[in-house]
Amino acid sequence: MSRRIASGLLVLMALAVCPAAAADQGGGSGLQRLAWLAGCWQQEKAGRVTQEQWMAPMGGTMLGIGRIVANGRTVEYEYLRIEEKDGALVYTANPSGQAQDSFTQTELTDDKVVFANPQHDFPQRIRYTRVGPDALLAQIEGERNGATKVIDYPMSRVACPAPAEPKRP
């Protein structure tokens, strides 16, 4: 790996770990209101670990990744993007084994954002609520078999993994 690529990766990891350092680099007031989401989040429940990692707003986007690990194996993962389009935030998810889909912001406060896509099978709504400086509640919600179903993911802020040292020849 070249030094330039390794340096770039280290800068990206530092921005994810230190969201305040990049908070003033975002792409607009709506995206800046989500700067609190930047960093690493985790939930451990019933032998499953759910993780999300979000980069700070920069260049008009927030980029994220998520995964669920059960019994020591990744069972689900997804690539995530939040960007500002036509005055609203758009959340785009590319989950493992499924087609990419987008959800448009329907609510935004300093502590909460809701995205919706009524045409999506499940979920139709994705919600992030800040419940403290080191806690958030992620939720997916939608109609399933004629009933509203909500799945909660209460998460705590955790240290982001340090980048591996590049191997030297």
- The domain ranges of the chain are 3-158
CA-wise closest residue to 70 among 87, 96, 46, 86: 46
Of residues 156 and 146, more confidently modeled: 156
Question: How many residues in total does the chain contain?
Answer: 169
CATH hierarchy code of domain 3-158: 2.40.128.20
Per-residue confidence (pLDDT) for residue 133, from 0 to 100: 92
Per-residue confidence (pLDDT) for residue 90, from 0 to 100: 98
Mean pLDDT across the chain? 86
Of residues 51 and 168, more confidently modeled: 51
Percent pLDDT > 70 in the chain is: 83
Q: What is the pLDDT of residues 112-134, one digit of tens each?
A: 999 999 999 999 999 999 999 99
Handedness of CA 109, 110, 114, 115 (dihedral sign): positive
18 pLDDT more than 60: no
Q: Which two tokens stand for residue 168?
A: 């030297």
Stated as kind and residue range, the H or E segment containing 66 is strand 61-70
Residue 125 φ/ψ, nearest 5 degrees = -135, 140
Q: Which residues are paired to 90 by β-bridges?
A: 83, 104
154 pLDDT more than 60: yes
- Give the three-state DSSP class for 126: strand
Residues sharing a CB contact under 8 Å with residue 113, sequence separation 6 or more, in sequence order: 33, 34, 89, 105, 107, 127, 128
C-alpha angle 64/38/128, rounded to 5°? Answer: 80
Q: What is the pLDDT of residues 54-95, one digit of tens each?
A: 999 999 999 999 999 999 999 999 999 999 999 999 999 999
Per-residue confidence (pLDDT) for residue 166, from 0 to 100: 84
pLDDT band of 8, cuts 50, 70, 90: very low
